[in-house]
Amino acid sequence: MHAVEDSVAEIIAREQAHGLRDKQTLLEFATRVSANRAELIWLLRKLKHEGKCIVAVSAPAKGMTLINYCKIGRETLDYVTEKAPLKIGRFTPGDHIPVLPDAQLYEDRPDYALLLAWNFAQEIMANISDYTEAGGKVIVPIPTPVILDKDSTL
């Protein structure tokens, strides 16, 4: 059996100090997650109802969790773009949305791009500046859905 490092006790103490082991804290978190889901779904459905083309950019595991939790499928996203060759030519888990190379974003110029690697929003926005300069808009879903264009800052 391995000895437990002191850092484990420190992390547990921090979790307790922030209420992360408190049922009320977890219920409030669940409520915020549910509200965010409803807001994102409403936004995407509104845009599709307006006839807008929406794709997703990047295909990390957390992004796949988001689209499956929100039940965002092929009726909403035309495809997902990715730079990792291992993912290109495959499909997302669940609804089997095609994963295409990032170049497709520049070729098709969809109206909106849902950013599935929201923790890298600034970096990705800089990488796809040609898309936004041409009028494309980016939807950052977390912590609350927001639409960014070429003039937006995070």
Q: Residue 38: helix, strand or coil by DSSP?
A: helix
Indicate the pTM of the whole model.
0.89
pLDDT, tens digit, for every residue of 48-62? 999 999 999 999 999
148: left (phi over 0), alpha (psi -120 to 50) or beta: beta
Q: Count CB neighbours of 2 within 10 A.
A: 4
Work out the percent of the chain whose per-residue pLDDT is above 70: 100
pLDDT, tens digit, for every residue of 99-120? 999 999 999 999 999 999 999 9
Name the CATH superfamily, with its identifier, for domain 6-148. Answer: NAD(P)-binding Rossmann-like Domain (3.40.50.720)
Q: Count CB neighbours of 121 within 10 A.
A: 17
- The domain locations on the chain are 6-148
What phi and psi, each to the nearest 5 degrees, are found at residue 112? -135, 145
Q: What is the mean pLDDT of residues 65-91?
A: 96
Task: Return d(Cα 77, Cα 131) in angstroms, integer.
Answer: 17
